[in-house]
Structure 1
Amino acid sequence: MKKLYAAALGYMIAGLLSGIYYRELTKAMNFSGESMLSVLHTHLLILGMFFFLILISLEKLFHLSTNKRFSLFFWIYNIGVVWTITLMAIHGTCDVLGIASGPAIAGLAGMGHIILSIGLILFFIILKDRLFDKKN
């Protein structure tokens, strides 16, 4: 439970800081176009903070962490979120600075999404196991 709370808190802080970063960088560069930075804040708050706040409630109700796959899910999901968010920040910063990010950034971001998807699949397997466990 403490691990889930710490993750939610960490993502909340990162989400708020990313909003400040976006505002200050675009203001300093007099940038008014589209960039990945504009959605970084939202991604961190939804995929990070809100997801883990909801997970805390589900943990309280269904004891998801008793599943042997829970730790694997937790780390894969977090790696996927951090990987994806990092590449979004790099891509968005390059856009604002007027630097071409290239296909490597897009490819690496795609890998982050794949890792994130594997984490979500594990989450739903764990949830299904706990919801439909005959011992409950």
Structure 2
Amino acid sequence: MMKLFYAAFGYMIVGVLSGLYYREFTKAHDFTGATQLGLVHTHLLTLGFIVLLIVLLLEKQFGLTQSSLFNWFFWTYNAGLVVTAAALAVHGSLTVVGQESSSAIAGIAGLGHIALSTGMVLLFLALRSRILATKDDPATSVTGR
């Protein structure tokens, strides 16, 4: 459970800092156009901070970490988010300084999104297994708590 708490907290800090980087980096380069740097801030806060807080609540309610799929979800999802955010940050930074981004960066961001999606599927499979496991046990069911 604490792993989820610290991960969510970490994403909150990095998400806020990425927003600061976006604002200050574009201001320092007198850049007013569109860039993917703003997406880094949004991805980290929404997919990192908020989603993991929701997963923390699901852990508290259903014992999600007891599922054999939980660690697969956690590491796949987090790897996908880190790769996606890093690729967006590189692409956005290159845009601000006026350099062309390579298609490899877009491909890496795509792989990050695939890992995120795989993590979400694993989350639902883990949640399903815990709901089914607690359904027949009054001591651990939602209504039994």
**TM exceeding 0.5:** yes
- Counterpart-to-counterpart distance in 1, 2:122 and 2:56: 16
- Identical pairs, percent: 51
The alpha-carbon deviation at position 132 of structure 1 amounts to 2.6
Question: Which one has the largest radius of gyration?
Answer: 2
Which ranges of structure 1 fall in alignment gaps of 5 or more residues?
A: none
What does residue 11 of structure 2 align with? 11
The alpha-carbon deviation at position 18 of structure 1 amounts to 0.2
What does residue 95 of structure 1 align with? 95
Query: Could you report, residue by residue, the CA deviation over 1:62-84 in whole angstroms, capped at 9, with x for unpaired residues?
Result: 00000011111111110000010
Which ranges of structure 2 fall in alignment gaps of 5 or more residues?
A: 138-145
The alpha-carbon deviation at position 114 of structure 1 amounts to 0.8
What does residue 126 of structure 1 align with? 126
- Counterpart-to-counterpart distance in 2, 1:135 and 1:81: 35
What does residue 34 of structure 1 align with? 34
TM-align CA RMSD: 0.9
What is the one-letter code of the residue matched to 1:118?
T
- Counterpart-to-counterpart distance in 2, 1:3 and 1:99: 38
- Counterpart-to-counterpart distance in 1, 2:80 and 2:39: 17
Runs of 4+ in 1 over 3 A off after TM superposition: none
Q: What is the number of equivalent residue pairs in this alignment?
A: 136
What is the one-letter code of the residue matched to 1:9?
F
TM-score normalised by L of structure 2: 0.90
- Counterpart-to-counterpart distance in 1, 2:63 and 2:78: 19
TM-score normalised by L of structure 1: 0.96
Secondary structure (helix, strand or coil) at the match of 1:82 reads: helix
Query: Could you report, residue by residue, the CA deviation over 1:19-65 in whole angstroms, capped at 9, with x for unpaired residues?
Result: 10000000000000001001211110000000111111110000000
